[in-house]
């Protein structure tokens, strides 16, 4: 496939946008080459500026669970736009989407909307600190909670006690309040809690990790976190920005039967517009301004176009819960097909899968945390990525990303993808 126009557009973008992109993961740094510029998308397909059609397994990194340009969402946005695009005043629409979200997700009474997953996680941690009157937080290596300062903390033995910034611009003062633990390692968490008695406000976790490939929690991991949090007056935050409204209508709380104290949303909840949200029981949410002392705000929060898109998306998911089973069946089909052709070609790999999330790792050992995810063979992944692209299939340009299955994918698309993997496997 040719990417002449994309390359030209990228060269122009680089002159006026740092790295030519507005979010670094788009830049192809991990795989080499230049990013593909999209012209339009519909259903399971992307159409790029060079006229290529690509089957899309990123889906805007998660939001487009029903496929691109999903009709009810597009119509809702167009209708609302005609009535004005922002007021900075309350609208009935905000209550409608809030009520629907609260009815779909277990264990939450109130929800507040923001503009991104980053904002949701950042605000949730502030709320947890204000509510518990404690400063420190525990996060897990390899879990992503957006780019606010508290979360950009590197793994490593020294960091486990004091934390050290892995991004310049994050102060040592901020870093020291973020404690790092290994995913799926309860003993590690217990040690950190013991060493920081009565100082930890919250544990924030991706209840199914999706930002180091897809890593489901081991049996008992979420239950163990819940118990430790309850015993130590620590709030448990489920960052469901990726998993919320994707793995089930009620997210991982519903799947696991483990209750979080605060839940963060993003991606699917906005139907492809910039939306995030955080939610909890009333006792905690009432701690937010204007009812309570913890400040949090946003000029464009609850924006009518974004809320219209999100409401149309949630209504579609709420009214057809079979979607989640359908997605899982498609993902399983893809998993089995890829597994078969990789095995036949003697490729060393591990596939992780849950619901509509799946990741292919080029390493033989189980991928259960950041360390094991990092063992994957990046050179093989690079070849795999470009090979797939050449076959007209777009997966994330990094070995640490999950593939997102959408309801718009047909079994013909999945078969096409499996055949492409077979062809590419012969070149690895």
Ligand X SMILES: *Cc1c(COP(=O)(O)O)cnc(C)c1O
On the CB side of 190, CA atoms within 13 Å amount to 9
Q: Which of 36, 179, 241, 374 binds ligand X (CB under 6 A)?
A: 241
Residue of 153, 170, 143 lying closest to 162 (CA atoms): 153
Mark 268-287 with x for binding to ligand X (rule: CB under 6 A) and - for no binding.
--------x-----------
d(CA 98, CA 162): 38
Which residues, numbered 211-230, are part of the site for ligand X (CB under 6 A)?
Answer: 211
Which residues, numbered 194-213, are part of the site for ligand X (CB under 6 A)?
Answer: 206, 210-211
Q: Judged by CB, which is closer to ligand X: 45, or 265?
A: 265
Ramachandran class of 340: left when φ > 0, alpha when ψ lies in -120 to 50, beta otherwise:
alpha
| Catalytic residue set | 144, 239, 267
| DSSP summary character for residue 383 | H
Q: Judged by CB, which is closer to ligand X: 188, or 211?
A: 211
**Shortest CB 207 distance to ligand X, Å:** 9
Residue with tokens 């264990």: 107
Q: Are 235 and 284 in contact (CB under 8 A)?
A: yes
Cβ-closest position to ligand X: 117
179 beta partners: 138
Q: Which of 266, 304, 310, 355 binds ligand X (CB under 6 A)?
A: 266
Decide: is 140 part of the binding site for ligand X (CB under 6 A).
no
Distances (CA, A) of 76 to 68, 306, 408, 414: 14, 10, 19, 30
Decide: is 146 part of the binding site for ligand X (CB under 6 A).
yes
Q: Are 140 and 209 in contact (CB under 8 A)?
A: yes
Mark 90-129 with x for binding to ligand X (rule: CB under 6 A) and - for no binding.
--------------------------xxx--x--------
Q: Are 388 and 422 in contact (CB under 8 A)?
A: no
Q: Judged by CB, which is closer to ligand X: 222, or 242?
A: 242
The window from 138-146, 157-165, 313-321, 351-359 that contacts ligand X (CB under 6 A) reads 138-146
Structure tokens at 116: 């991104």
Structure tokens at 425: 């496997």
Decide: is 401 part of the binding site for ligand X (CB under 6 A).
no
Q: Which spans of this chain sit near ligand X (rule: CB under 6 A)? A: 116-118, 121, 144-146, 206, 210-211, 239, 241-242, 266, 276
């Amino acid at each position: 496939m040719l990417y002449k126009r994309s390359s030209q557009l990228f060269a122009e973008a680089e002159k006026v946008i740092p790295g030519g992109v507005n979010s670094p993961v788009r830049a192809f740094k991990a795989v080499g080459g230049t990013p593909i510029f999209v012209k339009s998308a519909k259903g399971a397909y992307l159409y790029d500026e060079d006229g290529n059609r690509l089957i899309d397994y990123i889906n805007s990194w998660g939001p487009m669970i029903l496929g691109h340009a999903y009709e009810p969402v597009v119509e809702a946005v167009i209708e609302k736009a005609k009535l004005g695009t922002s007021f900075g005043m309350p609208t009935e629409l905000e209550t409608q989407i809030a009520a629907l979200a609260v009815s779909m997700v277990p264990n939450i009474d109130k929800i507040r909307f923001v503009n991104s997953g980053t904002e949701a996680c950042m605000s949730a941690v502030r709320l947890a600190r204000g509510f518990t009157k404690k400063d420190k937080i525990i996060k897990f290596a390899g879990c992503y909670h957006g780019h606010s300062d508290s979360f950009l903390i590197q793994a490593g033995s020294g960091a486990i006690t004091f934390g050290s910034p892995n991004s310049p611009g994050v102060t040592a003062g901020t870093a020291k309040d973020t404690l790092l633990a290994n995913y799926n390692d309860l003993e590690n968490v217990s040690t950190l809690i013991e060493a920081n008695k009565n100082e930890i406000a919250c544990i924030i976790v991706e209840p199914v990790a999706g930002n180091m490939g897809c890593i489901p929690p081991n049996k008992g991991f979420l239950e163990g976190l819940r118990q430790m949090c309850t015993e130590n007056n620590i709030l448990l935050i489920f960052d469901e920005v990726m998993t919320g409204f994707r793995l089930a209508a009620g997210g991982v709380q519903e799947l696991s039967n483990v209750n979080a104290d605060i839940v963060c949303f993003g991606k699917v909840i906005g139907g492809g517009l910039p939306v995030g949200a955080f939610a909890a029981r009333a006792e905690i949410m009432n701690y937010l301004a204007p009812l309570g002392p913890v400040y949090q705000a946003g000029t464009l929060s609850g924006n009518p176009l974004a809320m219209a898109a999100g409401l149309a998306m949630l209504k579609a998911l709420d009214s057809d819960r079979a979607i989640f089973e359908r997605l899982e069946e498609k993902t399983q089909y893809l998993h089995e097909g890829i597994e078969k052709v990789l095995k036949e070609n003697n490729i060393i790999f591990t596939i992780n899968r849950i619901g509509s999330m799946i990741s292919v790792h080029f390493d033989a050992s189980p991928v259960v945390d950041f360390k094991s995810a990092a063992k994957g063979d990046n050179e093989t992944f690079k070849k795999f990525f470009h090979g797939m692209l050449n076959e007209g299939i777009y997966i994330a340009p990094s070995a640490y990303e999950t593939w997102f299955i959408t309801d718009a994918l047909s079994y013909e698309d999945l078969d096409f993808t499996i055949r492409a993997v077979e062809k590419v496997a012969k070149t690895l």
